[in-house]
């Protein structure tokens, strides 16, 4: 599991560790990890040009000590100090190692760089995890002076909201973020996560409590995916029912069934428009008609009948996946376990807010909806969020931009429904289904475009490729 902790959790863990270590040892450990990450990015040391943007706090100290390590390895290191004070020990260490230090005051008095002297990488040590969103004028001017140069962020990109993943003003966009001790919420949750680039973790040996946000890894998914018992049969493996599609939107029914019929449960039943049912049977001859189920998938392409489909499915008393058109008929908590699968626009309508507000604060709104509807909320996006009324929020980090294609959400709904029918609790079904969906898209894409049906077709191969559970 990749865990992301809050600033307060990290501060408390760091304080406990520093009390047991010699003074400055933790900063030196972090700086060494940062320096070697920069060297890996550069590919070599001697003569390479590194610029440090240094704020007044310990984040700047990390950058300065890392700069000293780089300078001793042969890099040409310069630091621009963006505040009246900087970490004294770090400044002294950099100068002693042969690095240069200059006070940056912004144009027109900014330190001059010629084309030959321009840095090859910039280290963002402006603001640490204790900073608030947005950057001061001096920092913005410094970043503009080195526009186009790859940036390595220290802990988090300066200017992002660390505990929420939100953005409030000017901020750093990093090619690489080197973080210490644990991941932070901003590394996983958009829109801030999109500003982090690749994220590299330097272990500091912190003793941390349960995380506020987490992301499944392949081993976690392998442990959670339901697998048939030695004497399993189709009914014991679970039966999922699909009430999706209509004469106007037959593809939604076909793709929802495709997601459900990936082999993760024992049987799929389709109940809906007669013409759609005929097409479903042609594409998926193993799918049958009405009967008893352990979970329902409702809503996608349901049009005017989505409300009735939701009500009929809820009467069975089994868990539900509620998607697309059926979401508009969810007024409050349902009487059965439910996974709601909105995109930002649908969630905005459910909560009575603007879509832009949901996109700016997805973590906040996913948690709000989970509490209001007493359900698991799967908020679809680049990094999909799965929130429940209690426990951490799970973030899906699998997937590729090609997954933004028509029908992909229908496949996801069917996939989550199959996992519900197979016995997973709603929270696990939603987060495992989302992870498999993204991983299948990555496999099917292989770097190129895909359509939704190909995502469904790749799910079995993804499951086969999961690590052994031992």
259 is in an annotated binding site: no
Residues 330, 406: one domain?
yes
Stretch 10-37: mean pLDDT: 95
Is the Cα torsion angle 76, 82, 84, 85 positive or negative in sign? negative
60 inside domain = yes
**Sole residue written with tokens 């199959």:** 418
What's the DSSP call for residue 401?
G
Residue 452 and residue 433 share a domain: yes
pLDDT (tens digit, 9 = 90+) per residue, 60-72?
Answer: 999 999 999 999 9
- 6 — phi, psi (to 5°)? -80, 165
CATH code, 305: 3.40.1190.20
The reply to whether 285 falls in a domain is yes
303 annotated among ligand-binding-site residues:
no
Flag whether 124 is marked binding: yes
pLDDT at 265 over 60: yes
pLDDT at 111 (0 to 100): 57
- Proportion of the chain above pLDDT 70, given as a percent: 97
Are 364 and 344 contacting, i.e. CB atoms less than 8 angstroms apart?
A: no
**Any binding-site annotation on 246?**
no
Task: Give the CATH number for residue 110.
Answer: 3.40.50.10260
470 assigned to some structural domain: no
How far apart are alpha carbons 44 and 358 in whole angstroms?
43
170 and 128 co-located in one domain: yes
**Is there a single domain that holds both residue 241 and residue 173?**
no
Do 265 and 404 share a structural domain?
yes
Coil vs helix vs strand at 79: strand
Q: Do 418 and 272 fall within a single domain?
A: yes
Domain assignment present for residue 469? The answer is no
Q: Using CA atoms, how far apart are residues 302 and 300, in angstroms rounded to an integer?
A: 5
Query: What kind and span of H or E run contains 54?
Result: strand 49-54
Q: Is residue 201 located within the same domain as residue 336?
A: no
Q: Give dist(CA 428, CA 419) in Å, integer.
A: 9
Q: Does the annotation place 383 within a ligand binding site?
A: yes
158 three-state secondary structure: coil
**Kind and range of the H or E element at 419?**
helix 408-421
Question: What's the pLDDT score for residue 115?
Answer: 44
Are 162 and 297 members of one domain?
no
**109 annotated as a binding-site residue:** no
Is the same domain home to 395 and 448?
Answer: yes
The string of DSSP codes covering 304-369 is: GGHHHHHHHHHTTTS-EEE-GGGGGG--S--SS-EEE---HHHHHHHHTS-HHHHHHSHHHHHHHH
Binding site annotation covers 181? no
Is residue 278 annotated as involved in ligand binding?
no
Residue 29, token pair as written in the block: 């450990």
Average pLDDT over residues 219-226: 98
* C-beta separation of 412 from 404 below 8 A: no
Q: Output the pLDDT for position 338.
A: 98
Residue 323 counted as an annotated binding residue:
no
Number of domains, the chain: 2
Residue 11, domain member (yes or no) = yes
Tell which of 184, 212, 240 closes a domain: 212
Q: Say which range, 121-125, 132-136, 215-219, 377-381, has the weakest mean pLDDT.
A: 132-136
Q: Which of 165, 189, 212 is the last residue of a domain?
A: 212
Tell me: is residue 155 an annotated ligand-binding position.
yes
Paired tokens of 124: 């963002």
pLDDT tens across 348-365, in order? Answer: 999 999 999 999 999 999
For residue 344, pLDDT over 80 is answered with yes
Do 135 and 244 lie in a common domain?
no
Last residue of a domain, one of 196, 212, 228: 212
Query: Do 183 and 62 reside in the same domain of the chain?
Result: yes
Is 384 assigned a ligand-binding role in the annotation?
A: yes
Q: Is 133 annotated as a binding residue?
A: yes
Q: What domain range includes position 21?
A: 2-212
State the average pLDDT over residues 21-41.
96
The answer to whether residues 236 and 178 belong to one domain is no
- What digits encode the pLDDT tens for the residues 366-413? 999 999 999 999 999 999 999 999 999 999 999 999 999 999 999 999
Q: CB within 8 A of 74, min separation 6: which ones?
A: 45, 46, 47, 48
381 labeled binding residue? yes
60 is in an annotated binding site: yes
Predicted confidence at residue 105, as pLDDT, reads 77
CA atoms within 13 A on the CB side of 468: 1
Q: What is the pLDDT of residue 114?
A: 43
- The answer to whether 58 is a known ligand-binding residue is yes
Q: How confident is the model at residue 157 (pLDDT cuts 50, 70, 90)?
A: very high
């Amino acid at each position: 599991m990749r865990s992301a902790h809050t600033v307060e959790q990290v501060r408390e863990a760091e304080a406990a560790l520093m009390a047991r270590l010699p003074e400055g040892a933790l900063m030196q450990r972090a700086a060494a990890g940062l320096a070697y990450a920069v060297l890996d990015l550069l590919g070599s040391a001697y003569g390479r040009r590194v610029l440090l943007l240094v704020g007044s706090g310990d984040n700047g100290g990390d950058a300065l000590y890392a700069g000293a390590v780089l300078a001793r390895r042969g890099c040409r290191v310069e630091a621009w100090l963006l505040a009246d004070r900087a970490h004294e020990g770090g400044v002294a260490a950099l100068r002693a190692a042969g690095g240069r230090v200059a006070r940056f005051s912004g144009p027109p008095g900014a330190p001059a760089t010629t084309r030959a002297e321009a840095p090859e990488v910039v280290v963002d040590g402006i603001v640490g995890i204790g900073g608030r969103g947005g950057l001061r004028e001096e920092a913005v001017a410094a970043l503009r002076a080195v526009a186009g140069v790859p940036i390595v962020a220290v802990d988090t990109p300066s200017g992002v909201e660390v505990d929420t993943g939100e953005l409030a003003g000017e901020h750093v966009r990093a090619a690489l973020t080197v973080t210490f001790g644990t991941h932070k919420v901003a590394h996983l949750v958009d829109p801030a996560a999109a500003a982090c680039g690749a994220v590299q973790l330097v272990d500091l040996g912190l003793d941390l409590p349960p995380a506020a946000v987490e992301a499944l890894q392949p081993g976690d998914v392998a442990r959670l995916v339901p697998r048939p018992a030695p004497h399993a049969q189709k009914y014991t493996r679970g039966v999922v029912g699909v009430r999706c599609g209509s004469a106007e939107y037959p593809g939604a029914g076909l793709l929802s069934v495709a997601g459900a019929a990936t082999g993760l449960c024992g049987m799929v039943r389709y109940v809906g428009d007669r013409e759609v049912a005929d097409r479903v049977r042609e594409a998926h001859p193993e799918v049958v008609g009405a009967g008893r189920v352990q979970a329902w998938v409702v809503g996608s392409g349901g049009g005017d009948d989505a409300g009735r489909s939701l009500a009929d499915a809820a009467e069975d008393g089994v868990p539900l996946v509620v998607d697309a058109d059926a979401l508009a008929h969810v007024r409050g908590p349902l009487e059965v376990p439910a996974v709601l699968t909105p995109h930002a626009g649908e969630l905005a309508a459910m909560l009575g807010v603007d879509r832009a507000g949901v996109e700016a604060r997805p973590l906040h709104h996913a948690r709000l909806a989970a509490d209001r509807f007493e359900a698991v909320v799967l908020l679809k996006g680049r990094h999909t969020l799965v929130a429940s009324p209690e426990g951490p929020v799970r973030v899906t980090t699998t997937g590729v931009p090609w997954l933004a294609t028509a029908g992909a959400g229908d496949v996801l709904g069917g996939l989550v429904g199959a996992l519900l029918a197979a016995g997973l609790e709603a929270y696990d079904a939603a987060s495992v289904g989302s992870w498999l969906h993204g991983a299948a898209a990555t496999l099917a894409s292989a770097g190129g475009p895909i359509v939704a049906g190909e995502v469904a077709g790749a799910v079995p191969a993804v499951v086969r490729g999961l690590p052994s559970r031992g």
